Amino acid sequence: MGGRFGTDGIRGPVGSELTAGLAVGLGRAVGHLLGGGGRSVVIGRDTRRSGEMLSAGLAAGLAATGTDVVDLGIVTTPCLVHASGDDRHAAGIMVSASHNPAEDNGLKVVAGGRKVDDAIETQLDQLIDDERAIPELPNAELGRLRTEPEAIIAYRRHLADIAGDAFRGLRIGIDCANGSASVVAPDLFRDLGAEVTVLFDAPNGVNINDGSGSTHPQRLAETVGAAGLDIGLAFDGDADRLIAVDERGELVDGDAVMGICALERLAAGTLRNNLLVATVMSNGGLERVIREAGGRVVRTPVGDRNVYEAMERDDAVLGGEQSGHIIFRDRATTGDGLLTAIELVRAVRAAGVPLSELAARIPRLPQVVINSAVRRRDDWRSDTEFVAAIERATQQMGDRGRVLVRPSGTEAKIRIMVEGDDANEIDTIARELATLAEARLN
């Protein structure tokens, strides 16, 4: 079969693409390829009902290769990654579809505190298809299953050490998306000295990301504005993203968060090489303000792996995506919504002004993004009519803006982004391209 891995591991609908059999196969493949030497593999999951089934399958497959399994239960993806970086563990596997609806799930393999590369994913894919390449073991040689609550405690201590007293006395609202943040964020921020109003922290297996979290932060925005809270923090299903809300109830997206933190670090001299790494989807206003402050922005294709690779290559410590998936490389090896919240609050406290004032310093060019549902998302470059329309739109914008088209790496959609100074013009262009995409690519 092959080709299971996308930009963020294996992801898709449960019962058709994501099955118990696939989880067993991936567990066997990871155990065979990455296990050995007495080191275990850590697994964790978000709050989807299917997570228990898939975690059990992974554990069975890993144990079948003689690999011990550490099951962390419901954790955030950053917690799983943090735990997997321990030298006692060969790898980690997170069961989560992040911001996707509950019907989906995903399997993400990490090693050494970061996602495995394409070459490893290709080998794992091949091993899933070739079961005979992995020998069966007798009872005495099978792996064992254990829990390790101290790994979660160590992760929380890591965050608390970074936060210091930044949250003391703050009145904050948090939206846990009925996901993994529900089991850690409320108590963490209370322990840090904040008065916490919590939304969407009652996961039931089917309500993750449902009208909540970083993709639907409107309820949090209303709550923060109505209650006069200092700040709102919205996480996604596995808590690797953050969208913030200022004290007036206005949204502060990933670009603004990156800009605020980058400017604070530029002023403090801690933005290594004066560099911020952002994707092609980040707003042109972010690049403009960083450049004016003496920094520079390097753009990458969409995807946190691309961001992290550029950060390593250019020795940057801050990078991320407009979606709120932000990496502080001097703190962690992956995007972490809770860590991002802490870094944002630290920047606000250092500035001594409300979040709204800091967010207003990050200009935003008008930008329209439309996600068009299409069956043939990867074939758009071969459709001459659609490509010609993109070229005409690009020529029309000229130096006044830009047009970006790319397939989603996780959903059957094509993403169309148009940015420029004229809001009406870019809206018209984006809608025309979206309509054509749905007509030509379905």
pLDDT greater at residue 338 or residue 379: 338
Helix 149-163 / helix 77-84 crossing angle, nearest 10 deg: 110
Asked whether the predicted pLDDT for residue 293 surpasses 70, the reply is: yes
What is the structure's pLDDT at 378? 87
Output the CATH code of domain 367-440. Answer: 3.30.310.50
Q: Would you say the CATH fold of 367-440 matches that of 154-250? A: no
CA 33, 34, 35, 38 torsion-angle sign: positive
Report residue 398's pLDDT band, with 50, 70 and 90 as the boundaries.
confident
Long-range contacts of 227-232 (CB under 8 A, 24+ apart): 227/171, 227/173, 227/197, 228/171, 229/171, 229/172, 229/173, 229/197, 230/170, 230/171, 230/172, 230/354, 230/355, 231/170, 231/172, 231/173, 231/344, 231/345, 231/348, 231/355, 232/172, 232/173, 232/174, 232/175
| Cα–Cα distance for residue pair 208/203, rounded to 1 Å | 6
Average pLDDT of the chain is 95
pLDDT digits (tens, 9 = 90+) for 64-121: 999 999 999 999 999 999 999 999 999 999 999 999 999 999 999 999 888 999 999 9
Distance from C-alpha of 88 to C-alpha of 423, rounded to nearest angstrom: 53
The whole-model pTM stands at 0.89
Domain 154-250 coded CATH 3.90.1170.50: no
Mean pLDDT, to the nearest integer, of 386-414? Answer: 89
Q: Is 180 a residue of the active site?
A: no
Which pLDDT score is estimated for 2?
67
16-64: pLDDT as tens digits = 999 999 999 999 999 999 998 899 999 999 999 999 999 999 999 999 9
Which tokens sit at 309?
Answer: 């690779």
For the domain covering 10-147, report its CATH number.
Answer: 3.40.120.10
Catalytic residue, candidates 96, 98, 282, 323: 98
Phi then psi for 246, rounded to 5 degrees? Answer: -80, 180
> Is the pLDDT reported for residue 7 higher than 90?
no
Domain chopping of the chain, boundaries: 10-147, 154-250, 252-360, 367-440
Helix (H, G, I), strand (E, B), or coil: what is residue 85? coil
Query: For domain 252-360, is the CATH number 3.40.120.10?
Result: yes
